[in-house]
Amino acid sequence: MIFREADIADIGQIQFVRHAVKENRLSDPSLVTDADVEEYMTKRGRGWVCEIQNTVIGFAIVDLIENNVWALFVLPEYEAMGIGKKLHRMMMDWYFTHTKEKIWLGTEPGSRAEKFYRMQGWREAGIHGKNELKFEMDFQSWSGAPV
C-alpha cells in the first residue's frame, strides 16, 4: 500500500471510490463533479490517496475554507484494514499545520463512519443538513488524539 498526496490524475479513481461506498452514498452522484474534486484538492485544501498497484482504494480531502472534512472514503472490500485511519491522520496533521481553527464534518447517523470518528476523538456537535450528525475537532483535542 502506498499513501501519498492526491493529484489531478487521481480524480477519476477518487470518483470511482466515492460512488462505490455502501454508507454515506450520494443521493445524486452528478452533484459532485470532477471539477469540484479538483477545486477541493488544489484551491480549497488538499487530498490524499491510498493505492495498491496504481489503483486508488481510499482517499481523504480536507477543506481549509469551510474548515471541514470534505471526504474520507475507502472501497468496501478494503474497510477495517487501517487505511481510513492512516488517511485520516495524514489529513488532520496537514490541516492543523495550516490552521488551528476547529474542523467539522457531517456523517450518516448509525454508520460505521460515525463509530470511526468517535473512536478518533471527534465530538458530536448537533445535526448538519437534513439528517447528518455533525462532529467537531479542535487543535487541542487533535494534538492528544489516539495514534
> What pLDDT shows up at residue 28?
54
Give the CATH number for residue 122. Answer: 3.40.630.30
Distance, CA of 42 to CA of 24 (rounded, Å): 24
Least confident among 9-13, 32-36, 137-141 = 32-36
Cell of 73: 472514503
> What DSSP designation does 79 have?
T
Distance, CA of 101 to CA of 117 (rounded, Å): 18
pLDDT(25) > 60: no
- For 64-116, how does the pLDDT look when each residue is reduced to its tens digit (9 = 90+)? 999 999 999 999 999 889 999 999 999 999 999 999 999 999 998 888 889 99
Q: How many structural domains does the chain have? A: 1
Domain range for residue 111?
A: 2-143
Query: How crowded is the C-beta side of 59, counted as CA atoms within 13 Å?
Result: 28
Distance, CA of 64 to CA of 111 (rounded, Å): 25
> What pLDDT shows up at residue 138?
94
> What pLDDT shows up at residue 19?
85
Residue 129 — pLDDT band, cuts 50, 70, 90? confident
